Amino acid sequence: MDSTQQRERNYTLLCDYYELTMGNGYLECGLANRITYFDVFFRRVPDGGGFAIAAGLEQVIEYIEGLHFSPEDIAFLRDKKVFSETFLQYLAGFRFTGDLYAVPEGTPVFPGEPILTVRAPAAEAQLIETFLLLSLNHQSLIATKANRIVRAAQGRTVTEFGSRRAQGVDGAVLGARAAYIAGCAGTACVLSDKEYGVPAGGTMAHSWIQMFDDEYTAFKTYCALYPENVTLLVDTYNVLKSGVPNAIRAFREVLRPKGIQNCAIRLDSGDMTYLSKKARRMLDEAGFPQCKIVASNSLDEYIIRDLIQQGACIDSFGVGERLITSKSEPVFGGVYKLAAVEDAEGHILPKIKVSENTSKITNPHFKKVYRLYENDSGKAAADLMCVYDERVDDSQPLEIFSPEATWKKKMLTNFTARELLIPVFLGGKRVYDTPPIETVRAYCRDQVETLWDEVKRFENPHAYYVDLSKKLWNIKMQLLENSK
């Protein structure tokens, strides 16, 4: 299956089996068309971080637009001898007819708040659960990890190098997409460039050098073939005794006569701090101060931070397996929970899931989320979850409070309130134009800048407040009281 076929593949049956049995049951009980409200949210940030980056919405949109059951799908389900013929006929004409609201890709998001809300008939809303979660969970996970790594690099270029260690095709291609949104400069994955416009690039493998009789000939040949974009891998044999000297010789004999200044070497093993310092001195003394030094080899945000603190002379990083798999914490943990239903007259009835584990108690109702920005600093002060019919008047002072510690209150003045959830589908019709990936990437960068540095710490970040409006708080408390 080529990449185009894969993107056009019908993923309707990429669902949990219980979504179909519930749909069949809803139809048998007369509940299939009852309007429901489901939220996608997550409970904790991976790696103990202060925030996550939302990604994966574009693939959700593509999935919903192509959602249908083929005759082959219906025949497959009929052979299960579980589903009623009425339900199978319902599926034969199935299309998404509901509404979907989501935060734009690249938005910094926080635990507990909806990053996507579905309003749709019960059978429709239930069926799309799995794909929505897998798309948002995967790409949000990789985007969050990539942004941590990019921030650790402190302005130095980070390129995603992880395709060969990714978990499957989508893990590589869409992982590279998510990493680019979150700030990586590009990817080694060519298909992600072709399909999503993520700039692809690379250097060379050790095998290139081993194919030649000696290292110098390998370097000189490569410089002659690709004089405008040369990065030589200098650790095949000995970095300081042969790799860097041979690279300098090739640069001097091939690039300098052409007047080419742009060149680089790559370190892929050894003590990166020591080797980069020594290599930098050698390059400078040879008259190549403009030559960049690239580092790779099982890097992550902590190693990169330590290298920089130790004074490593590294200009850019290639990060592979620990980024593309989010190795330190490979699960995002987004969930899909019912928040409300409508009665026959169209009244919205809030629903809540109660648990002895307080972190698993859900926030009920059809909600909107405001991000509150301080006008004097431009920084985000807090997020505020409200009932759908509430409006924050940012021309007036606003008191907010912590849902976990209600005595912690703050009066906001001179602020701007911006709604985070935007309509994507209304009545089954797409009403949102997916922006170009460069626009999404720039938006992500700008929005991360609105967060205080304390929220962006890798360890023990400041807890960013996601508060409830008084109206929503009262509704939640009443539902909890009624559940006793």
Residue 472 CA from chain centroid, whole number? 29
140-154 burial, b for 16+ CB within 10 Å, e for fewer?
A: bbbbbbbbbbbbbbe
Contacts 24+ apart (CB under 8 A), 209-215: 209/233, 209/236, 209/237, 210/236, 215/242, 215/243, 215/246
**How far apart are the two ends of the chain, measured CA to CA in Å?**
54
Per-residue pLDDT at 2 exceeds 90: no
Q: Which amino acid is at 104?
A: P
- Cβ neighbours, 10 Å, residue 222: 22
Assign 356 a pLDDT band (cuts: 50, 70, 90).
Answer: confident
pLDDT at 402: 84
Tens of pLDDT along 204-213? 999 999 999 9
Q: What distances in angstroms separate CA 372 from CA 366, 397, 420, 427, 466, one per listed residue?
A: 20, 12, 10, 30, 10
Per-residue pLDDT at 7 exceeds 60: no
Residue 332 CA from chain centroid, whole number? 10
Assign 8 a pLDDT band (cuts: 50, 70, 90).
Answer: low
Provide the strand spans (E) within 272-421.
292-295, 316-319, 334-342, 348-350, 367-374, 380-387, 398-401, 409-412, 415-419
The angle that helices 129-152 and 301-309 make with each other, rounded to 10 degrees, is 10
- Residue with the two structure tokens 């009403």: 431
Provide the strand spans (E) within 223-333.
230-233, 263-267, 292-295, 316-319
What are the DSSP calls for 276-291, one per residue? HHHHHHHHHHTT-TT-
Q: Which amino acid is at 211?
A: M
Yes or no: say if 52 and 464 are a contact pair by the CB < 8 Å rule.
no
Per-residue pLDDT at 3 exceeds 50: no
Tens of pLDDT along 85-144? 999 999 999 999 999 999 999 999 999 999 999 999 999 999 999 999 999 999 999 999
Which of 110-124, 167-181, 350-364, 369-383 shows the lowest per-residue confidence on average (mean pLDDT)?
350-364
Over residues 140-156, the mean pLDDT reads 98
- Residue with the two structure tokens 């949990």: 16
Over residues 17-21, the mean pLDDT reads 96
In the chain the domains, ranked by start, together with CATH numbers, are: 3-142+330-364+418-460 (3.20.140.10), 144-324 (3.20.20.70)
Contacts 24+ apart (CB under 8 A), 468-474: 468/363, 468/384, 468/385, 468/386, 468/403, 469/384, 469/385, 469/386, 469/387, 469/390, 471/386, 471/387, 471/390, 472/363, 472/364, 472/365, 472/367, 472/385, 472/386, 472/387, 472/390, 473/403, 473/406
Assign 84 a pLDDT band (cuts: 50, 70, 90).
Answer: very high
Per-residue pLDDT at 456 exceeds 70: yes
**Cα 364 to Cα 357: distance, rounded to the nearest angstrom:** 16
